[in-house]
Structure 1
């Protein structure tokens, strides 16, 4: 199986690569459109700020390649947010894969949310073997509003989308590579899709 992690300068790539290796697979880092298109599974990571990350995607034409992919694609954290229509962070137009908006947590909660929180209302094969209210690891100041494509939720001052799915595209707000056994199982479920 060929697994490609999209390399566009805004990802927490090494920890994802190590997590995949622990599952017995090898992943390749690439920004090459042909290599990405030829992959069996694509992981779209992201750490950082939305508008600068979108600039990097546009500079390499990956903003046009990613939405056209036909194989299973997993967006992680900022990667998931960039797959949405729009983000308040830097007033950024996203890839438009998910019909969803990304907004900032209000001042009623400490921002960023850092640490362990629960996922619930799990609705996808991505969560096979994962129990309701499982703890996962998050670091973020912006969140995806709940929408038709939401497949898992989390509560932090407000109920928001912690996972999303449309056709072959999946997104998780949390970091599966840092979420212990549950995160590893979610990654493994994605690789088995």
Structure 2
């Protein structure tokens, strides 16, 4: 099994690699189009700022590559947000895979949301053998709204999409690599898709 992690100058790649090692998987970190195209599964991680990340993707034509991938693709945190249509973070147009915009949290709670929160799933193979609701680790100031592609729902100042799915594309707002057993199970489920 060839597993590729897309390299695009967004953090948390090392913790994703460690989490994959814990479940017995090796992955290559690459921005090489051919390597990504030939991988059985692709992970699009991310911690960082949206406009800088999109600039890097466009500069290397990774934006077009990602949209055309046929194998299962998992976006994590910023990776998932970049798969949406647009983000309020520096008014950035994104990949448009998921048909929902990303907005900044507002309201009485501390922003960013940092810590454990529950996700209630709406029927996706990513959540197989995971409790419903399950608890995952979140760090984010922006969120994807509820839409037809919502695969899990979390509440923080409002209800939002903590997971999205469309065809072979999956996204999670939380960090499975930092979410203990539930996160490891989700990564295993993704690899078994």
Q: Number of paired residues?
A: 193
Alpha-carbon distance in structure 1 between the residues aligned to 2:14 and 2:121: 30
| 2:100 pairs with 1:100 | yes
Give the corresponding residue for 1:178.
178
Give the 3-state SS of the residue equivalent to 1:120 in structure 2: strand
Residues 116-135 of structure 1 correspond to what in structure 2 (within 5 A)?
A: 116-135=116-135
Give the 3-state SS of the residue equivalent to 1:119 in structure 2: strand
Q: What is the TM-score when the length of structure 1 is the normalising length?
A: 0.98
**Unpaired runs of at least 5, structure 2:** none
Alpha-carbon distance in structure 1 between the residues aligned to 2:133 and 2:192: 23
**Unpaired runs of at least 5, structure 1:** none
Give the 3-state SS of the residue equivalent to 1:52 in structure 2: helix
Give the 3-state SS of the residue equivalent to 1:84 in structure 2: coil
Give the corresponding residue for 2:13.
13
Alpha-carbon distance in structure 2 between the residues aligned to 1:191 and 1:85: 26
CA RMSD of superposed structures (Å): 0.7
The answer to whether the Cα contact below 8 Å between 2:50 and 2:78 also exists between their aligned partners in 1 is yes
Q: What is the TM-score when the length of structure 2 is the normalising length?
A: 0.98
Structure 1 runs, 4 residues or longer, greater than 3 Å off: none
Give the 3-state SS of the residue equivalent to 1:100 in structure 2: coil
